[in-house]
Amino acid sequence: MPRLVFAFIVTFLLSSLPGSKLIARLRAMQIGQNISEDAPQTHTKKQGTPTMGGLLIHFGLTLAMLAYIGFFQWDMHRHLIGDLKLLPLLLLTLAFGAIGFLDDYLSLKRGKNLGLRAREKFLAQCLVAALFVLWLALTSNSDINLVNIAPVQLGYYSPIALYGFYYLLCLLLIVGFSNATNFADGLDGLSAGLNLITALALAVLVYSTEPTIAFFCIALAGSLAGFLWWNAYPARVFMGDTASLAIGAGLAGAAIMGKQEVGFVVASLVCWAELVSVIVQVLVFKYRRRRRGLDYAKTHRVFLRTPLHHHFEELGWPETQVVLRFWLAGLVCAALALLWRY
């Protein structure tokens, strides 16, 4: 446990201390956020705020992971094989970060948020996630497809065998949560705070059985906290897809490796709600447009605006109030996940 606390402090410092220099560099290079036309009018003042600040998160997390694997092998209670399994998890995170980085770069180059096409981004995510799931299938024992879907309090300890269907669910979990964290990254500090809460909850969930995975979660939490120092309202930098896609993939991968898939979903329900709100809005709009026409579909939307946090902004909630209340909801979900496990 002291090592985990130390990891949190170190990654916090690694992600926060270089922040001012990175922000100044991004401003000098004119790497600023293009605000979408679909965003609320109150967001126009954020035009030009430096983006791709999620590099701070990658910096802290990567250094911590490499140090953990490479420099602490003197501990007789540590096993290199167990530590090396962090490498595929780190590679998964960095690969999704590379997809996000390319999307951010193209958006800046082309302007008006014209980055990767949605289909291109989705296919790239599926490919990387599929490689990670294939690695799991080839290196894990036959119990990998077992999932305990009932709370411990019910006394139900017999897990459900999902067989080959499990790997499809893993793929959906990684790609789905990657996009969920991306959609949640729409207000100052919102995504960083929510995923900080989820990462800490997941660390507690996996600590007793997979302490190395818990280390990854704590290192990610520390990096998020360090980035939040600069991303809290009023944000001086945005993480961009460079980090938002990577955070979701990394946490989902950690949950799968730690066999805490259900607890993870419960802990991260607020981010999932962001994703579901977008899906529901699009599907219902297309259905009503086909049945009733475009004008009817535009005036009968399920939400005033999506993702979900924008809906509450349209209701008149100040940005800081939306963020704080979403964080509180995230804390409740994390508490429910821990109650589910313990």
Q: Which residues are annotated as a binding site for Mg(2+)?
A: 182, 241
What values do phi and psi take at 50, rounded to 5? -55, 140
Q: Are 303 and 311 in contact, with CB atoms under 8 Å apart?
A: yes
Q: Which residues pair with 161 in a beta bridge?
A: 146
For the annotated binding site, the residues are: 182, 241
Residue 259 is encoded by which pair of tokens? 């066999």
- CA–CA distance, 308 with 315 (Å, rounded to integer): 11
Angle at 21 between CA 196 and CA 48, to 5 degrees: 75
Q: Are 263 and 205 in contact, with CB atoms under 8 Å apart?
A: yes
Task: Report in angstroms the alpha-carbon separations of 87 from 126, 128, 228, 321.
Answer: 19, 14, 25, 38
Report how far Cα 256 is from the mean position of its chain's Cα atoms: 14
How many Cα atoms sit within 13 Å of 73 on the Cβ side? 10
Task: Report in angstroms the alpha-carbon separations of 102 from 52, 97, 99.
Answer: 10, 9, 5
Q: Which residue has the tokens 């709370």?
A: 151
